[in-house]
């Protein structure tokens, strides 16, 4: 028996979790949606996981495994978030188990124990991509690659790349020759992960074409909330390609949450040694760093996470502050002018 009263989620005692999970299987749509909202904001609040998160996994897996469960995509979506939280933290290389906190590690392992339930869902057109998404985060499972190879979709190809197994290379190479742009994108992303600097010119060109594009999110791919251009940007360093200029091009065309990925990639490319020291003058920055500051001063999306990312590198945030930093006031003359 699970001592739910002794477990915690974002709002305290987890006694309400079993009831909310059971309500996900209700025949009443309003009841299901309310339960989903409660679980979304409690056991994975803002991407965090708690002691109740891992404990909820077997109950969610039972719902997913039962064909009569209405809207099985809801518990399946929760399982993906319980497993890895916001996936931007792990892309493009995959989960780093050593970087997981205790509750996060338990949640990740709990979902991993249910992969045998998830693999058959690849045969279900409505659930296949969400199942593929989760399978890709578990490189230690050899059966997942064989199962994913039966699914003809970008999500499955990306998952095969994340598994990091050499047997996935031929599958990714075939995707690169597909008539569908999304499949070619997935093939390039997967090959960047699998072959790195040896991925070749075709992969580089495919990634660069996506990375600097103004393309909006495509939610048929569950990774990075459908930001295919952002995922391509993240993949460029894997093949040894400088991502600064593509990131700046993407940033100029992005005003929504996709801008965060472009900003983070540009910051990493321009500041490879990490944040600058407090009080560092603009003139002490490299030409690449000055160029980035200039672009940010002219186009910093009004998003809190973007400002936080910029501040983390020791830079002032906000167009006005960045402009003042890049163009400090001229010193006054002796007569005060």
Write out pLDDT tens, residues 288-333.
999 999 988 877 666 668 888 899 999 998 788 888 998 876 544 4
Write out pLDDT tens, residues 117-137.
999 999 999 999 999 999 999
Answer whether residue 173 is part of any domain.
no
Domain boundary among 113, 140, 157: 113
Answer whether residue 160 is part of any domain.
no
Q: Please, which pLDDT band fits residue 140 given cuts at 50, 70 and 90? A: confident
- For 12, list phi and psi in degrees, rounded to 5: 115, -135
Neighbours of 61 (CB within 10 A): 21
Answer whether residue 187 is part of any domain.
no
pLDDT of 41 reads 96
The predicted model scores a pTM of 0.92
How many domains is the chain partitioned into structurally?
A: 2
Over range 278-295, report the average pLDDT.
94
CA distance 26 to 71: 10
Q: State yes or no: pLDDT of 108 exceeds 60.
A: yes
Name every residue whose Cβ is closer than 8 Å to that of residue 248 and which is 6 or more positions away in sequence: 262, 266, 291, 292, 295
Verify cis geometry, omega within 30 degrees of 0, for the bond prior to 267. Answer: no
> Across the strands, what pairs with 193?
none
Tell me which residue range forms the domain holding 11: 1-113
Answer whether residue 301 is part of any domain.
yes
Q: What percent of the chain has pLDDT over 90?
A: 81
Q: Give the DSSP per-residue string, 221-280.
A: S-GGGG-HHHHHHHHGGGGT---HHHHHHHHHT--STHHHHHHHHHHHHH-TT-PPPTT-
Answer whether residue 129 is part of any domain.
no
Answer whether residue 45 is part of any domain.
yes
Write out pLDDT tens, residues 163-201.
999 999 999 999 999 999 999 999 999 999 999 999 999
Answer whether residue 152 is part of any domain.
no
Domain boundary among 83, 98, 113: 113
């Amino acid at each position: 028996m699970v001592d739910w009263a002794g477990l915690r989620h974002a709002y305290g005692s987890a006694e309400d979790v079993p009831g909310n999970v059971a309500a996900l299987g209700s025949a009443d749509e309003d009841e299901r949606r309310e339960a989903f909202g409660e679980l979304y904001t409690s056991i994975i609040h803002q991407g965090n996981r708690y002691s109740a998160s891992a404990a909820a996994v077997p109950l969610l897996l039972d719902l997913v495994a039962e064909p009569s469960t209405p809207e099985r995509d809801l518990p399946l979506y929760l399982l993906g978030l319980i497993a890895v939280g916001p996936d931007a933290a792990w892309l493009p290389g995959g989960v780093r188990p050593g970087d997981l906190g205790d509750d996060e590690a338990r949640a990740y392992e709990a979902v991993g124990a249910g992969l045998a339930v998830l693999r058959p869902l690849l045969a279900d057109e409505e659930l296949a991509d969400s199942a593929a998404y989760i399978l890709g985060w578990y490189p230690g499972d050899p059966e997942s690659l064989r199962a994913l190879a039966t699914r003809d979709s970008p999500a499955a190809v990306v998952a095969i790349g994340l598994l990091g197994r050499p047997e996935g290379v031929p599958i990714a190479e075939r995707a690169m020759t597909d008539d569908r742009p999304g499949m070619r994108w997935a093939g390039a992303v997967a090959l960047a992960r699998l072959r790195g600097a040896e991925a070749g010119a075709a992969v580089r060109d495919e990634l660069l074409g996506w990375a600097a594009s103004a393309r909006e999110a495509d939610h048929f791919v569950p990774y990075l909330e459908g930001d295919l251009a952002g995922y391509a940007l993240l993949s460029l360093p894997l093949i040894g390609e400088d991502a600064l200029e593509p990131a700046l091009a993407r940033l100029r065309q992005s005003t929504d949450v996709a801008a965060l990925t472009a900003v983070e990639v540009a910051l990493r490319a321009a500041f490879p040694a990490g944040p600058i020291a407090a009080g560092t003058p603009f003139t002490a920055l490299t030409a690449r760093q000055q160029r980035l500051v200039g672009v940010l001063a002219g186009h910093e999306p009004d998003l809190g996470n973007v400002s936080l990312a910029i501040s983390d590198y020791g830079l002032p945030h906000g167009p006005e502050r960045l402009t003042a930093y890049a163009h400090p006031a001229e010193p006054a003359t002796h007569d005060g002018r």
